[in-house]
Chain A
Amino acid sequence: MRQLGSVHTDLPVGEVPFTDTELKRMAGVADSEPMPRTSLLGIIAAREALLQAGLNEEMVNEKMVNGLAFISGTTVGGMDLTEQHWHDYADGKATENIRLHEAGESTNAIVRHLGISNQQSAVSFIATPSTACSSALNAIMLGANMLRTGKTKAALVGGAESLSMFHLNGFNTLMILDHVPCRPFDAERHGLNLGEGAGYLFIEPEEQAIARGATILGYIGGYANTCDAYHQTASSDNGEGALLAMSGALRMAGLQPADIDYVNAHGTATPNNDLSESAALRRLFGDNLPAVSSTKAFTGHTTSASGGLEAAICVLAMQHGLVPANLNWSSTAEGLITPVTHTQHKPLRHILCNAFGFGGNESSLVISSTGTDLSEAPMIQLPNEQINVQMVNDEMVNSFVSSAESRRMTPQMRRVVAAARRAMEESGVAIPDAIVCATQWGCMLQSMRFLQDMIDSGEQQLKPTPFMQSTHNTIASLIAILTGNHGYNATYSQGKQSLDCALVDIRTQMSIGLIHTAMVIEFDEQVDAWDAVLQQIGDRTEDIARVHIYTNNRKI
């Protein structure tokens, strides 16, 4: 640990070996411009991706008539700046830069530095999926859905995440960080190592790529996002959500399990993940397990960026015809799959890439070496119905949420869960096909509790519960867990545009026929500690708990 200013220097981390100042030079960002490390990593990776896709500025500005969609997952956002400057903020020295705390603002900062002068019109859509460690794969899925429905003609999709003291301490309270390099799928594995990075894919319709003479590196074969609906931080023993995600991705791709040549596993090396993922892999593949490896021993767990990095690793694996090794493996134990421990050379036609997150947000992506026509599905017209519920009455909250269920919830979490249940009751949609949450600041009360405790205590004796509930995807996954909903589950944090992002997501999915019903949740919390900072720039947080049910009139 050389860059991160944590006291826990005994924990190995997969750091990008440059200071923020060095990264700013590489990203073309002025020294004086405050910039989250997440954004710096994102700028460098995103510019590389555009360059490799053979896109110059003129092409982005003119040829992509519908504009470029930039969809970048993150959860940390600008947390690194907030933890470094917390004492300044307490001293009344907050400036507009505090807005960079927001996940969506850290993405906007990447767009400002993409090297596209006319970015206001060239980049027509920006979204920040924030489903913890599956964020980047969900970004890829939204981009693919937008291409399939003609909402955009090109998308740069993936994720960026820097290390932060916040989530290093958070994972430490969960006691799932190994003190030596991580050992995915090994009997003696003892947890993960955190990493940082950014990874993006540039995706466009095949005919456009051919027309502009681009080199096609691979195809998106299929994908699925499901919810394990089991526990906020633990995966189910039988890997139900992971199985549903992998089998859903295969189904969309029109493939059988035997068609998969390689699985890039989530494989974090926590005792729980690897056992649960092994169970899911066995249920899907039976005795015919393809080559499986986790590449996290190379990179560390880059959390929200991991799906982007690992999708890029899969494309490289396909290009070079090699299966990357699962490092640090030496022995198996009951229930665990045996990964590939040495680099294998063989042609790879179809690769499955997994990314699983807190709350059971499970995503799988199929990357193929040959084209799959995903746009065949008939487009469904959308004069959809909408039911809105706003919960304000605390007495009603108690009739929808029991005290046993709510013991860990903040008051605003209770209100939104109650609103969700009431919306299901009123609409008759008990199990919506999708649950999508839109939130500007995320679960700010628990985030601020954990941040303040971390700073006040000097990173000692922190409680796990506030960290567990600090991620933006807490609300959507909590509702899925409480209602046993294994369907699509996503969260967007894009400032005041968060709801628009959620609606683009569900509408594109409804047009393709991937979903027929959806619950869209608007959530934010009024938090005194953050208001004390925001007030210095004339802003404040507010309580929002609105739930909308959308249907396309076909299923009900």
Chain B
Amino acid sequence: MEKLIEQLKAQIIEALNFEDMTPADIDTDAPLFGEGLGLDSIDALELIMLMDREYGIKLSDPKAGKAVFQSVRTMAEYIQANRTK
């Protein structure tokens, strides 16, 4: 799990162009949207695409992403349970 979390943080930084950040800068349990990283609706779509591309998980409804994208940890747990690659 820890390995997946680290890998995911790096993928998030790359997908969302956080050029000045390192995985250590992202708190595993902090909210991704709103306060935390301050992500928006386009970032949510980029995260949906990331899950499809890297883990073979398809989320067809952006609203369904809300629960999954609460934090890096919730995302990692969802990936662990649903990944197809």
Residues in chain A within 8 A of chain B (CB atoms): 173-175, 231-234, 403-404, 407-408, 461-465, 468
B41 contact from A173, A231, A461, Cβ within 8 A: A231
In the docked arrangement, what's the CA distance between A174 and B45, Å? 7
Nearest-CB distance from B52 to chain A (Å)?
6
Nearest-CB distance from A398 to chain B (Å)?
11
List the B side residues contacting A461 at CB < 8 Å: 49, 52-53
Q: Contacts A175-B62, A231-B40: A465 and B46 contacting too (C-beta < 8 A)?
A: yes
Instruction: Please determine whether B49 and A403 come into contact, CB atoms closer than 8 angstroms.
Output: no
In the docked arrangement, what's the CA distance between A408 and B45, Å? 14
Q: Contacts A408-B17, A461-B53: A232 and B42 contacting too (C-beta < 8 A)?
A: yes
A234 contact from B15, B16, B41, Cβ within 8 A: B41
Q: Contacts A403-B20, A407-B18: A175 and B42 contacting too (C-beta < 8 A)?
A: no
Q: Contacts A232-B42, A233-B42, A465-B42: A175 and B48 contacting too (C-beta < 8 A)?
A: yes
In the docked arrangement, what's the CA distance between A468 and B17, Å? 15
Majority-rule SS of A interface residues: loop
Tell me the B7-44 residues at the A interface (CB within 8 Å).
Answer: 15-20, 38, 40-42
List the A side residues contacting B48 at CB < 8 Å: 175
Instruction: Please determine whether B19 and A407 come into contact, CB atoms closer than 8 angstroms.
Output: yes
List the B side residues contacting A408 at CB < 8 Å: 17, 42
List the A side residues contacting B16 at CB < 8 Å: 407
Q: Contacts A231-B40, A231-B41, A232-B42: A464 and B20 contacting too (C-beta < 8 A)?
A: no
B46 contact from A233, A403, A464, Cβ within 8 A: A464
List the B side residues contacting A233 at CB < 8 Å: 41-42
Q: Which of B19, B45, B49, B62 has the most CB of A within 10 A?
A: B45
Instruction: Please determine whether B46 and A463 come into contact, CB atoms closer than 8 angstroms.
Output: yes
In the docked arrangement, what's the CA distance between A173 and B40, Å? 15
Instruction: Please determine whether B41 and A463 come into contact, CB atoms closer than 8 angstroms.
Output: no
Nearest-CB distance from A382 to chain B (Å)?
40
List the A side residues contacting B42 at CB < 8 Å: 232-233, 408, 464-465, 468
Residue of A nearest to B61 (CB): A175
Residues in chain B within 8 A of chain A (CB atoms): 15-20, 38, 40-42, 45-46, 48-49, 52-53, 60-62
User: How many residue pairs at the A-B interface have CB separations less than 8 Å?
Assistant: 39
Nearest-CB distance from A406 to chain B (Å)?
9
Nearest-CB distance from B49 to chain A (Å)?
6
Nearest-CB distance from A403 to chain B (Å)?
5
In the docked arrangement, what's the CA distance between A468 and B41, Å? 12
Residue of B nearest to A468 (CB): B42
Instruction: Please determine whether B45 and A173 come into contact, CB atoms closer than 8 angstroms.
Output: yes
Besides the contacts A404-B38, A408-B42, A464-B49, what 8 more A-B pairs have beta carbons closer than 8 Å?
Answer: A173-B49, A232-B42, A403-B19, A403-B20, A407-B18, A407-B19, A462-B49, A463-B49
In the docked arrangement, what's the CA distance between A234 and B39, Å? 13
Residue of B nearest to A404 (CB): B38
List the A side residues contacting B17 at CB < 8 Å: 407-408, 465
Nearest-CB distance from B15 to chain A (Å)?
8
* A-B contact list, 21 entries, CB within 8 Å: A173-B45, A173-B49, A175-B45, A175-B48, A175-B61, A175-B62, A231-B41, A232-B42, A233-B42, A234-B41, A407-B16, A407-B17, A407-B18, A407-B19, A408-B42, A461-B49, A463-B15, A463-B46, A464-B49, A465-B17, A465-B46
Nearest-CB distance from B47 to chain A (Å)?
11
The 3 closest A-B pairs by CB, nearest first: A407-B17, A464-B45, A175-B62
List the B side residues contacting A232 at CB < 8 Å: 42
List the B side residues contacting A403 at CB < 8 Å: 19-20
Residue of B nearest to A233 (CB): B42
In the docked arrangement, what's the CA distance between A204 and B18, Å? 52
In the docked arrangement, what's the CA distance between A462 and B48, Å? 11
Residue of A nearest to B63 (CB): A271
In the docked arrangement, what's the CA distance between A174 and B46, Å? 9
Residue of A nearest to B37 (CB): A404
In the docked arrangement, what's the CA distance between A461 and B15, Å? 13
Residue of A nearest to B45 (CB): A464
Residue of B nearest to A469 (CB): B42
Nearest-CB distance from A277 to chain B (Å)?
17
List the A side residues contacting B52 at CB < 8 Å: 461
Residue of A nearest to B60 (CB): A175
List the A side residues contacting B49 at CB < 8 Å: 173, 461-464
In the docked arrangement, what's the CA distance between A270 and B48, Å? 18
In the docked arrangement, what's the CA distance between A407 and B18, Å? 6
In the docked arrangement, what's the CA distance between A468 and B61, Å? 19
List the A side residues contacting B60 at CB < 8 Å: 175
In the docked arrangement, what's the CA distance between A234 and B41, Å? 8
List the B side residues contacting A468 at CB < 8 Å: 42
In the docked arrangement, what's the CA distance between A461 and B53, Å? 7
Q: Which of A403, A404, A464, A468 has the most CB of B within 10 A?
A: A464
Nearest-CB distance from B25 to chain A (Å)?
12
In the docked arrangement, what's the CA distance between A462 and B60, Å? 14
In the docked arrangement, what's the CA distance between A234 and B15, Å? 20
Nearest-CB distance from A446 to chain B (Å)?
12
Residue of A nearest to B43 (CB): A465
List the A side residues contacting B18 at CB < 8 Å: 407
List the A side residues contacting B20 at CB < 8 Å: 403
List the B side residues contacting A234 at CB < 8 Å: 40-41
In the docked arrangement, what's the CA distance between A233 and B44, Å? 13
List the B side residues contacting A174 at CB < 8 Å: 45
Residue of B nearest to A173 (CB): B45
In the docked arrangement, what's the CA distance between A232 and B43, Å? 12
In the docked arrangement, what's the CA distance between A232 and B15, Å? 18
List the A side residues contacting B15 at CB < 8 Å: 463
List the B side residues contacting A464 at CB < 8 Å: 42, 45-46, 49
In the docked arrangement, what's the CA distance between A231 and B40, Å? 9
